[in-house]
Structure 1
Amino acid sequence: MILVKGKVVECVGDEMMAIIWEKIKYKLILPYVDFGKNLEVFDLTLENRVIYGDEIVLDAAKAIKEAGVGIKCATITPDEKKCEEIGKVLRSPNHIIREYLGGIILREPVICENIPKIIKSWVNPIYIARHAYAGNKDVHEMCIEGKGQLKLSFVDEISGVQTEKIIAEETKDGVIGATFIEEYAIRAFARGSMEFAVEKCLPLFLSTKSTILKNYDGLYQRVFQEVYENEFKSRFEERGIFYNFILIDAMVAKAMKSKGGFVWAMKNYDGDVQSDFVSQGFGSLGLTSSYLMTDDKKVIQTEACHGTVKNHFKKYLRGEPTSTNPIASIFAWTKALAHRGQLDKNEELVKFTEIVEKVCIATIESGCMTKDLAAALKNNEFESMTENDYLTTFEFLDKIAQNLRSCMILPKMNI
């Protein structure tokens, strides 16, 4: 057994991914890894959040920051209708954790040679560096009823001077949204993105729409350029890489025509949208690893980049077979444990995570896969697929577990 020397925080989630999460833990992790008393579990199921509110999520975030490592299963963010049903307004667990930890969200494609890319020209990975909070994901909203004047105002704490900007002289019956981010947070985002580009030895692009949001997006553009010129330019040039700013609409077109092989930094919501585009372009949302990293690299919180797969959960509850891709959740475990191993200089743990990832890829490349990947081999012609073309959720996990056993040179276990 491989001993885990430092604390790991596990966040349990909802629906189909929660079912898969437990299978991953007991089939692929616990037969080989001994956490001892170093695994702290937080129940972030919707049922538990209804009881304890968002405070339980904040407690998990604090524990992750203290431990330096967090692993999170996909969770439900209740919409307005669901909040009315449960009698409580609950925020997105992801947003609460990201807001507390700060940093950047990094998304990497898991490339399997036999899974065809939708965007054929992408021969090299594209890494998304997404700001962890603010932007459209952190908008403060207010409904406007009646007729009146709209304005933004800021009161200086020391001088008491108030600065105002009129949004509309005369308006009625609508909605207003406002967001704010401090410059230090953008500077930390810039440093984190550039450190990652240096680590990967790849060029870095920042994309915003600074021609429209001249102050908000313009601040991102200015700060990134300053950090690059003052702190990273020589390190980039030593490695033969570069940093460029490109407007986001132009960058989307450039990315589609490219061969890949770069890091793409974006604000929170932009990164959310484009990371799905990139993941699908490489073959599947299920073949993507996602983790939040603080700018000092001391804390990593991993997760699957997709939701709870509600439609598959309904089938599961009816006793029907499902074929849900677990790779993103498996890589959530491996990326987190790899960081724990690096923090503790635990080479055995790091090596184990590398083996698990290689086994997952080799299993898919051997032809054993879930329905979403099998469909990609048939140009997504689902109507022509039969049950012989793919494995069910649990058959696929069993196959990975079987292949992992043969790689670990351990006695076979009843798992």
Structure 2
Amino acid sequence: MAKIEMKTALVEMDGDEMTRIIWQMIKDELICPYVELKSEYFDLGLEMRNATDDQVTIDSAEATKRLGVAVKCATITPNAARMEEYDLKQMWKSPNGTIRALLDGTVFRAPIVVKGIDPVVRTWKKPITIARHAYGDVYKNTEIRVPGAGTAELVFTAADGTVTREKIHEFEGAGVIQGTHNLDASIESFARSCFEYALATGQDLWFATKDTISKTYDHRFKDVFAEVFEADYRTRFEAAGIEYFYTLIDDAVARVMKSEGGFIWACKNYDGDVMSDMLSSAFGSLAMMTSVLVSPHGYFEYEAAHGTVQRHYYKHLKGEPTSTNSVATIFAWTGALRKRGELDATPELVEFADRLERATIQTIEAGKMTGDLARITSLEDVTTLGTREFILAVRETLDALA
């Protein structure tokens, strides 16, 4: 059968450790035999980021602006241990944070639901989508290690030279300081993306921060959402029969645990990072979550929402068997291919992406799965497959669906 032609390339961002191994397997077995893949390749492995002073990350984001669609493998955000392990020049920032800051927009993450993998929260009947702000907060922070006694101040110098100054703390000994920021324009883009996504999917939208404690920073998020909603979306929401409401983040957590699901939960950057991992794990596995950055400028970046699976990678290097779940990475590829097909009016590419997703889900529902799912499934007589064996099983199902 002839391969599906792509009209326009997409941006391919390779990554680190076990997910890098999976990335190549997916291309070799599930993409390239069926699609004449066109991609602009960027190696975002930690060694290349270090060698280029992280310029490769910036270049990949700029390419996404030009081509409109990207697919990204999981990458390492180094800590002190990683800095020593990889002999880094410095502790490079999160590549996801860098890319999201350049593209703006909102990250939407939703669990991949399959029969036999039941949510650990008994009340959850429908998927819960996390809408995560993609700019600022701790991902663009500035930090200082305070060596001893002294005064810490927050200082803003306006363009006209006016200085605003607030004392942070009078240190009597050593400590740490962290400065974070955000932008009204980015918060508004976040709000509009969330409102539009809710209307497009017909789901209620929740938004939560901690404005009772953070009376300026978090309150600004609350105010911008309220202003945008009242100005442009209240009437549209009422016509669609869906609801928007704001609550505190701790109240939202309590509500989520008692809900049936089927709504969008909008969170600030770090809150969304943590809560999406909680939701994906509670729905089944960290590797069973879709993730897409949607920019108001029309850029789409699809990624696996989990880490690089370091423990399995070290086993792989020793030649030991692994059973690593590749579903989120497969769905990152299908999401990018589908969007490329939609933008380029290539229906056969859209259909292929749909078919590959069906094949992945059907393989699991047939009882063929990786170890993380085999340990929690309610299906009987399942077969636990290794990393490569699962991908080959998906290919067998994919061919049967052709």
Q: TM-score, normalising length from structure 1?
A: 0.93
Q: State the alpha-carbon separation in 1 of the partners of residues 256 and 331 from structure 2.
A: 25
Q: Given residue 363 of structure 1, which amino acid in structure 2 is its aligned partner?
A: T
2:94, 2:139 within 8 Å by CA — same for their partners in 1? no
| TM-fit CA distance, 1:81 | 3.1
Corresponding residue of 2:51: 51
Q: State the alpha-carbon separation in 2 of the partners of residues 214 and 289 from structure 1.
A: 33
Corresponding residue of 2:390: 396
Corresponding residue of 1:329: 329
Give the alignment of 1:82-231 within 5 angstroms. 82-84=82-84, 86-89=87-90, 90-157=92-159, 159-169=160-170, 171-231=172-232
| TM-fit CA distance, 1:84 | 4.2
Corresponding residue of 1:295: 296
Q: State the alpha-carbon separation in 1 of the partners of residues 321 and 338 from structure 2.
A: 32
Q: Which moved more, 1:77-86 or 1:233-242?
A: 77-86
Q: State the alpha-carbon separation in 2 of the partners of residues 154 and 93 from structure 1.
A: 28
Gaps of 5+ in 2: none
**Structure 1 residue 239 and structure 2 residue 233: aligned?**
no
Q: Given residue 213 of structure 1, which amino acid in structure 2 is its aligned partner?
A: S
Q: State the alpha-carbon separation in 1 of the partners of residues 95 and 141 from structure 2.
A: 16
2:135, 2:186 within 8 Å by CA — same for their partners in 1? no
2:117, 2:378 within 8 Å by CA — same for their partners in 1? no
Q: TM-score, normalising length from structure 2?
A: 0.96
Q: State the alpha-carbon separation in 1 of the partners of residues 345 and 232 from structure 2.
A: 28
Q: Given residue 395 of structure 1, which amino acid in structure 2 is its aligned partner?
A: E
Q: State the alpha-carbon separation in 1 of the partners of residues 273 and 230 from structure 2.
A: 27
Corresponding residue of 1:64: 64
| TM-fit CA distance, 1:114 | 1.3
Corresponding residue of 2:320: 320
Q: State the alpha-carbon separation in 2 of the partners of residues 72 and 283 from structure 1.
A: 22
Q: State the alpha-carbon separation in 2 of the partners of residues 303 and 169 from structure 1.
A: 43
Q: Given residue 25 of structure 2, which amino acid in structure 1 is its aligned partner?
A: K
| TM-fit CA distance, 1:171 | 3.9
In structure 2, the residue corresponding to 1:64 is in which secondary structure?
helix
2:153, 2:167 within 8 Å by CA — same for their partners in 1? yes
Q: Which moved more, 1:91-100 or 1:352-361?
A: 91-100
Corresponding residue of 2:10: 8
Gaps of 5+ in 1: 380-384, 409-415
2:367, 2:383 within 8 Å by CA — same for their partners in 1? no
Q: State the alpha-carbon separation in 2 of the partners of residues 289 and 2 from structure 1.
A: 24
Q: State the alpha-carbon separation in 1 of the partners of residues 190 and 338 from structure 2.
A: 23
Q: State the alpha-carbon separation in 1 of the partners of residues 172 and 152 from structure 2.
A: 7
Q: Residues 344-385 of structure 1, C-alpha deviation per residue, up to 9 Å, x if partnerless? A: 121111111111111111111111111110101269xxxxx9
In structure 2, the residue corresponding to 1:269 is in which secondary structure?
helix
**Structure 1 residue 74 and structure 2 residue 74: aligned?**
yes
Q: Residues 269-291 of structure 1, C-alpha deviation per residue, up to 9 Å, x if partnerless? A: 00000001111121111111111
116 and 236 in structure 1: CA distance in 2 versus 1, 3 angstrom threshold: same
Give the alignment of 1:225-374 within 5 angstroms. 225-296=226-297, 298-374=298-374
1:150, 1:171 within 8 Å by CA — same for their partners in 2? no
In structure 1, the residue corresponding to 2:11 is in which secondary structure?
strand
Q: State the alpha-carbon separation in 2 of the partners of residues 356 and 336 from structure 1.
A: 12
Q: State the alpha-carbon separation in 2 of the partners of residues 52 and 135 from structure 1.
A: 25
2:143, 2:179 within 8 Å by CA — same for their partners in 1? yes
Count the aligned residue pairs.
398
Q: State the alpha-carbon separation in 1 of the partners of residues 398 and 324 from structure 2.
A: 20
Q: State the alpha-carbon separation in 1 of the partners of residues 320 and 150 from structure 2.
A: 56
| TM-fit CA distance, 1:138 | 2.2
| TM-fit CA distance, 1:82 | 2.7
CA RMSD of aligned residues (A): 1.6
2:116, 2:378 within 8 Å by CA — same for their partners in 1? no
In structure 1, the residue corresponding to 2:116 is in which secondary structure?
coil
In structure 2, the residue corresponding to 1:58 is in which secondary structure?
helix
2:132, 2:273 within 8 Å by CA — same for their partners in 1? yes
In structure 1, the residue corresponding to 2:369 is in which secondary structure?
coil
Q: Which moved more, 1:161-170 or 1:201-210?
A: 161-170
Q: Given residue 200 of structure 2, which amino acid in structure 1 is its aligned partner?
A: E
In structure 1, the residue corresponding to 2:241 is in which secondary structure?
coil
Q: State the alpha-carbon separation in 1 of the partners of residues 97 and 61 from structure 2.
A: 10
| TM-fit CA distance, 1:190 | 0.2
2:148, 2:171 within 8 Å by CA — same for their partners in 1? no
Q: Given residue 147 of structure 1, which amino acid in structure 2 is its aligned partner?
A: A
142 and 61 in structure 1: CA distance in 2 versus 1, 3 angstrom threshold: same
Corresponding residue of 1:413: none
Q: Given residue 352 of structure 1, which amino acid in structure 2 is its aligned partner?
A: F
Q: State the alpha-carbon separation in 2 of the partners of residues 309 and 378 from structure 1.
A: 25
In structure 2, the residue corresponding to 1:153 is in which secondary structure?
strand
Q: Given residue 58 of structure 1, which amino acid in structure 2 is its aligned partner?
A: I
